[in-house]
Structure 1
Amino acid sequence: MHSQLPHTLQPEEPTPLIIPRADHPISRKKIDRNALKIMYRLKDHGYLAYLVGGAVRDLLLRRQPADFDIATDAKPAQIKKLFRNSRIIGRRFRLAHIFFTDRITGRQQIIEVATFRKKLMIDEKNLEVVTAKPTMVNNTYGTPAEDVQRRDFTINALFYSLDRFKVIDYLGGLEDLEDGIVRIIGDPYERLIEDPVRILRAMEFSCRLGFTLEEQTLKAMQFHAPLLKEVSPSRMHEELRGLYTKGTTSAMLDLAAKLGIISSWLPYPTATMLSQTRQLMQKMEGFFSPATNEQQLESLIVTSLLLPEVVNRCGISPAPPLHQVNEAIELLLHPLNDCLHLPRYQRHRVREIIIGIFRLCSGDKRIKKLKKRPNFYLSLFFFIQLGREYPKELGKTIGFWHKQVSRWPATKDDQVVDPKLMFSDQRH
């Protein structure tokens, strides 16, 4: 076990712990080829270039990273000069996106390259300048040691360098990684005031990695949970869209309930149907792979959140009139939309899915017509889940559709879901 380093902001620049290649599992074979090209070009031109964040964390855990982000001491304009296939983006955070296109598949890849930054201490001397140029707060460049203090969690504050292929640890992130701990960098109470969305990120890491929330981090999350209600809906939507792809939303709901912060995340009455919601969402996440169903994920998750309460209000036997179902959807969507800023097309899709579920509940057997409706297969999936919860009320109709689906031709490779698998415990 490596010696633990301080986790709080230090008045002097700390000396990092250096982990040589022989003592860590990161191999260049596991690093994206284009990311390596960028790092080597920056290095060859005299700049520092580190692999950072989740990529280093996942490689140390022997997982395959989803993204490969790079940090450097080259300024955005210098990066753009080195890479013709790059573009400088952002006003709040100025950084470079470097674009690659696979010659065989045509798939586009974007690798993010950011310049090391430091936290700008605002005082009487620079207050006037900062007021005139507020973007300076997030675009004051610094050293790797200063940059690492701005990151969110110690396990995301590790650097990998091509110089002797070492891992650089300023804040004890490696020990937290080995011990399975999610710890906010610095004072967690202050850091959560800066960005309350870190509460959701901490829960996501805890659920996805099976890590424990560090005690002070946990207490600060519970104390500052009400700040989530003050996050702009557009920011919340942007953050959650990224979290949905991790396949841990159901586990996050469960953890939020255990921590007593679910009502700060989701509006009433959605937050009160947690038991049914989590069970339904767990089945949905098990069937619809995030990798192949990314476009549908948000509407599937929102449907999972709303459906238990729609059933609670409208019932399923006898099947309620569709106008009553639609009214219930609208009443529940409104507060959820205020919180999550759902795009109009997603709200429309959620309505279509839930209305489709209740068409099936009513015993509608117009097979050809129903199959042509948008999102029919998504409605069918949720209808089957309801059938397992209400076998007496829906068993006969479920049996009818099971028989019909078993006669349908084999699923095409490009079809999003396989309806035959919906009736079994197999996963897509």
Structure 2
Amino acid sequence: MPPPRIIPRQDHPLSRSMISPNVLKILYRLKDNGHVAYLVGGGVRDLLLGREPKDFDVATDATPGRIKKLFRNCRLVGRRFRLAHLHFINEIVEVSTFRASPSDEQEEDIVPPIPGSEAVRQPRSLVSEDGLVLRDNVFGSPADDAHRRDFTVNALAYNISDFSILDFVGGIEDLERGIIRTIGDPSVRFTEDPVRMLRAVRFAALLGFTFEEMTWQALVENAQGITKATPPRLYEEILKLFLSGEGEAVYQYLRLGGLFAPLFPVLDEWLNSETAGFPHVQSGRNLEWIDKRIAAGDPVSVPLLLSLMFGEYLEERARIYHKQGFTSLDATEAAVAEFMSEEVPVIAIPHRVVLAVREIMILQNRFRKMPGKRPQSVLSRPGFMDALAYLRCKSESSGEGSDVLNWWESYAVNKTLPPFPVQIEGGEKPKRRRRKRKVKTPPATL
């Protein structure tokens, strides 16, 4: 491998004052004990771009066992990738050992035996027949570690010994040009770990970068393989994507690159159709509203996010069930259950989140009844604030439901019924109570 490009301290803006004190302690303790230690990954990238890093990662030549001996607050995690998590009061720092690309012949890890059985040896690297990396604990050099990372802009390293930046793969140039480029053959890298395609989309949207041509072409060609990733991991990545503050840009990239269809097959088919001659554009508008809310520092819960992503489709399905004779409540429950039964096998949405989404959608029907029975009980329902935020988004983006929104917001603040409640079309009209007729008793006979 060619030697790295070294950017001395005077030629880059990264300073120790920008780095977490806990991370500096880790770097210096490893260095003082004779180990090579670098700040790596997205933290270096973000600091060079003038952004505040979400977290910091450290890479070293110390093995996981050695790291555990040096730090009492260390916990070793992961089977596929053995990592050290160093726990501080307000921070968890991930420390990894320099890794090399897996080869055919590697040493084996000895797994402690189950009582009554023999010790089992497992390979440090394991790759499936179709190229998916199942296990990767092969240690290597700093250069090896840089070349096995996903994208060039994420392979930069900050050397605590002389405060220089090490660039093994041309990451500085791509950072300056604003390009997302895989390290090595992009098809191979996306096959090894399909989630890298989602990470590429997230970085492009979040940083405002463009894709290098071969990287984008490989993403499009391998998009259907995204479902090879485990459903729980896809759920975590989807939340990172759409709660990044650039959800609408992510949405456009996913649809353009062909990733949206395998992740959300039912929703994608519906988005490609029209209802009464009109395209379905509300999901994109809702994601723009979420991005503005995140930029303003307002929280967005996972149930609210998913409700706004799927809401237009769920409302249409509920109307179809309602025409078939279902009550408004049963129609909404059926629409949510039908959609989630097809989505959960692909993306492992937790059951508690599904129930919260259902509550948000059910409350939309209840909001149309003003005041309805026991309106004070509506305020205490667990999904009320998210349901009201859903209605607010719908009102601001389409102009629908503003009267309903104003009524419930006023009631929520003042705790007194606003004057002149209006029955909104689509809400179920209250049934007239029939007065019970008095039964005349015949006169007593002698």
- TM > 0.5: yes
**How many residues are aligned here?**
387
Deviations 1:153-176 (A, max 9, x none): 000000001122100000000000
Q: 1:21 to 1:371 in 2, by over 3 A?
A: same
Deviations 1:223-265 (A, max 9, x none): 0000012322122123334434422333211122233442123
1:233-252 alignment to 2 at 5 Å?
233-252=231-250
User: Secondary structure of 2:30's match?
Assistant: helix
> 1:405, CA displacement in angstroms?
4.6
> 1:64, CA displacement in angstroms?
1.0
- Contact 1:244 1:297 (8 Å CA) reproduced: no
> 1:315, CA displacement in angstroms?
4.3
- Contact 2:304 2:390 (8 Å CA) reproduced: no
2:124 equivalent in structure 1: 135
Give me the whole-angstrom Cα distance separating, in 2, the residues matched to 1:271 and 1:37. 52
1:424 equivalent in structure 2: none
Give me the whole-angstrom Cα distance separating, in 1, the residues matched to 2:269 and 2:7. 45
> 1:384, CA displacement in angstroms?
2.3
User: Secondary structure of 1:341's match?
Assistant: coil
Q: Give ranges in structure 2 of 5+ residues lacking alignment.
A: 111-119, 127-135, 272-279, 417-446
Alignment partner of 1:116 is 2:124? no
Give me the whole-angstrom Cα distance separating, in 1, the residues matched to 2:297 and 2:81. 28
Deviations 1:275-301 (A, max 9, x none): 2112112212322569774xx632222
- Contact 1:267 1:339 (8 Å CA) reproduced: no
Alignment partner of 1:385 is 2:385? no
1:366-405 alignment to 2 at 5 Å?
366-388=374-396, 391=399, 394-405=401-412
User: Secondary structure of 1:121's match?
Assistant: coil
- Contact 1:299 1:347 (8 Å CA) reproduced: yes
1:146-225 alignment to 2 at 5 Å?
146-225=144-223
2:422 equivalent in structure 1: none
Aligned AA (1:400) = W
1:327 equivalent in structure 2: 334
User: Secondary structure of 1:263's match?
Assistant: helix
TM-score (norm 2): 0.80
Q: Give ranges in structure 1 of 5+ residues lacking alignment.
A: 1-12, 102-107, 410-428
User: Secondary structure of 1:340's match?
Assistant: coil
Aligned AA (1:342) = I
Q: 1:43 to 1:313 in 2, by over 3 A?
A: same
> 1:351, CA displacement in angstroms?
1.0
Q: 1:59 to 1:199 in 2, by over 3 A?
A: same
Residue 292 of structure 2 is aligned with which of 270, 286, 291? 286
Give me the whole-angstrom Cα distance separating, in 1, the residues matched to 2:222 and 2:41. 25
Greater relative CO, 1 or 2 (CA 8 Å, sep 6+): 1
1:14-29 alignment to 2 at 5 Å?
14-29=2-17
Give me the whole-angstrom Cα distance separating, in 2, the residues matched to 1:92 and 1:55. 23
Q: 1:302 to 1:222 in 2, by over 3 A?
A: same
Q: 1:364 to 1:266 in 2, by over 3 A?
A: farther
1:341 equivalent in structure 2: 348
Q: 1:387 to 1:70 in 2, by over 3 A?
A: same
> 1:332, CA displacement in angstroms?
1.2
Q: 1:290 to 1:59 in 2, by over 3 A?
A: same
Give me the whole-angstrom Cα distance separating, in 2, the residues matched to 1:323 and 1:221. 41
Give me the whole-angstrom Cα distance separating, in 1, the residues matched to 2:367 and 2:224. 40
Aligned AA (2:376) = K
User: Secondary structure of 2:104's match?
Assistant: coil
Aligned AA (1:23) = D
- Contact 1:270 1:332 (8 Å CA) reproduced: no
1:70-89 alignment to 2 at 5 Å?
70-89=58-77
Q: 1:204 to 1:350 in 2, by over 3 A?
A: same
User: Secondary structure of 1:269's match?
Assistant: helix
User: Secondary structure of 1:252's match?
Assistant: helix
Higher helix share: 1
Q: 1:64 to 1:254 in 2, by over 3 A?
A: same
1:42-121 alignment to 2 at 5 Å?
42-101=30-89, 108-121=90-103
Deviations 1:288-328 (A, max 9, x none): 569774xx632222112221102222349999611111111
TM-score (norm 1): 0.83
User: Secondary structure of 1:338's match?
Assistant: coil
- Contact 2:99 2:139 (8 Å CA) reproduced: yes
Question: Kindly, what percent of the aligned residue pairs are identical?
Answer: 37
> 1:183, CA displacement in angstroms?
0.4
* Greater CA drift, 46-55 or 379-388: 379-388
2:267 equivalent in structure 1: 269
> 1:68, CA displacement in angstroms?
0.7
Give me the whole-angstrom Cα distance separating, in 2, the residues matched to 1:309 and 1:320. 18
Give me the whole-angstrom Cα distance separating, in 1, the residues matched to 2:167 and 2:173. 9
Q: 1:174 to 1:272 in 2, by over 3 A?
A: farther
